[in-house]
Chain A
Amino acid sequence: DADVTQTPRNRITKTGKRIMLECSQTKGHDRMYWYRQDPGLGLRLIYYSFDVKDINKGEISDGYSVSRQAQAKFSLSLESAIPNQTALYFCATSDPGTAGGYTFGSGTRLTVV
């Protein structure tokens, strides 16, 4: 099993629908992140969580919400999807060491029509 698992892998949804993207990890890391990737823009941080009780907004949190159900689970919701939220979404966890990089999931490709 992958260290960081994202579901679904692909999703097409209609404008105005609510959708949830899920992420679970077996790394035992406290810190989890949601990024979106758009061509030519790299990855931009949506939300991050340092532990179950600590949720923080990233640079592009408008239109998104998150839930940290447990140390291992971090979900991203689009309350009312719009076409410009069409993107590739990545969940990541960070190494507990002070200099660690991130471990990424395989991504969820979301299309809003």
Chain B
Amino acid sequence: AQSVTQLGSHVSVSEGALVLLRCNYSSSVPPYLFWYVQYPNQGLQLLLKYTSAATLVKGINGFEAEFKKSETSFHLTKPSAHMSDAAEYFCAVRLSGSARQLTFGSGTQLTVLP
């Protein structure tokens, strides 16, 4: 079985501050991990993914995430928040080598304060 826990349903940061969105996973086999972003009234857009290559993954819009097996974590970071980063972010996990269903976390709403 696989599951994802996102700590913090709402996160607020000031513009220019560090963004840190937390994601922990549970998986019985090596997982593939994803971060998606959802802007208001839109579908989900892939930010980045971990697929067992480099543990530090760089994505679009300056975001990156680090896979830490010992901590079963895949936290999303961005050094300097921009107003346009305000959105909902979802972490998702899929078992490697298996049917390709994604299991999503409950989401984190990011607010960027001026």
Contact = CB atoms under 8 A, between A and B. Distances in A.
Interface of A: 4, 31, 33, 35, 40-45, 48, 50, 58, 90, 92, 94, 98-102, 104-107
The winner among B49, B51, B99, B100 for most chain A CB atoms within 10 A is B100
Provide the main secondary structure of the chain B interface.
loop
B43 A42 contact: no
Given A90-B44, A104-B43, A106-B43, A98 B102 contact: no
Given A101-B49, A102-B102, 16 more contacts: A4-B43, A41-B106, A42-B106, A44-B104, A45-B101, A45-B102, A99-B49, A99-B51, A100-B100, A101-B102, A102-B44, A104-B36, A104-B44, A106-B43, A107-B42, A107-B43
A102 B94 CA distance: 11
B32 A48 contact: no
A40 B106 contact: yes
A99 B32 contact: yes
A98 B96 contact: yes
Contacts of A48: 101
B104 A42 contact: yes
A17 to B, nearest CB: 25
Contacts, number: 54
B34 A101 contact: yes
Interface of B: 6, 9, 32, 34, 36, 42-46, 49, 51-52, 90, 96-97, 99-107
B99 A50 contact: yes
A43 B46 contact: no
A33 B101 CA distance: 8
Contact of A94 (B6, B45, B51, B100): B100
Contact of A98 (B90, B97, B107): B97
Contact of B105 (A31, A42, A50, A104): A42
A106 B43 CA distance: 4
